Amino acid sequence: MKLYAHPFSSYCQKVLVALYENDLAFEFRMLAPDDQAASSEHEALWPLKRMPVLVDEGRTVVEASIIVEYLALRYGGPVQSGLIEPTGRCDSVLPGNSARRVPGATRTLCGADARRRCR
Ligand SMILES: N[C@@H](CCC(=O)N[C@@H](CS)C(=O)NCC(=O)O)C(=O)O
């Protein structure tokens, strides 16, 4: 599994949280101006050139929240969903009624409540 990303991007950080918390091995393909090879691969995968982009078993998955949900569906793990509040703040929601804070989160929502309010 490869992640095309940059560590300073909050969208990418959201996916990195899911990868680390769900204990998934991956290759970090850093998108930086001095790495033309990674940039070319990235552009071929996603012509809009937005990051993050995940490649897993030949599948290309784009959009941070969709990547987080893809990882949860495909591999399971504690981070099930990455939700963006209308304020743009990100919380990670755990199954059932439990929830916990993740780095950068300013508020914690519980499962059903978060889904009702954030989708
Ligand atoms: N809707 C996308 C937004 C991703 C996004 O805007 N990423 C920024 C970095 S934080 C980016 O790639 N910017 C470069 C560009 O727009 O060309 C997502 O959720 O993944």
State how far the Cα of 36 lies from the Cα of 39, in Å rounded to an integer.
5
Same domain flag for 61 and 8: yes
Which residue's CA is minimally distant from atom 14 of ligand 1? 50
Q: Which residue range forms the structural domain that includes residue 115?
A: 80-119
Same domain flag for 47 and 100: no
Task: Quote the number of domains for the chain.
Answer: 2
Q: How far is the CA of 97 from the centre of ligand 1 (A)?
A: 31
CA of 80: how far to CAs of 8, 11, 21, 76, in Å?
Answer: 23, 16, 10, 7
Ligand 1 binding residues, C-beta < 6 A: 9, 11, 49-52, 63-64
Question: What predicted TM-score, i.e. pTM, was given to this entire model?
Answer: 0.74
DSSP 4: E
Half-sphere exposure of residue 12, counting CA atoms within 13 Å on the CB side?
Answer: 16
Same domain flag for 19 and 44: yes
Which residue's CA is minimally distant from atom 16 of ligand 1? 50
pLDDT score, position 88: 47
Same domain flag for 62 and 36: yes
pLDDT, tens digit (0-9, with 9 covering 90-100), for 3-25: 999 999 999 999 999 999 999 99
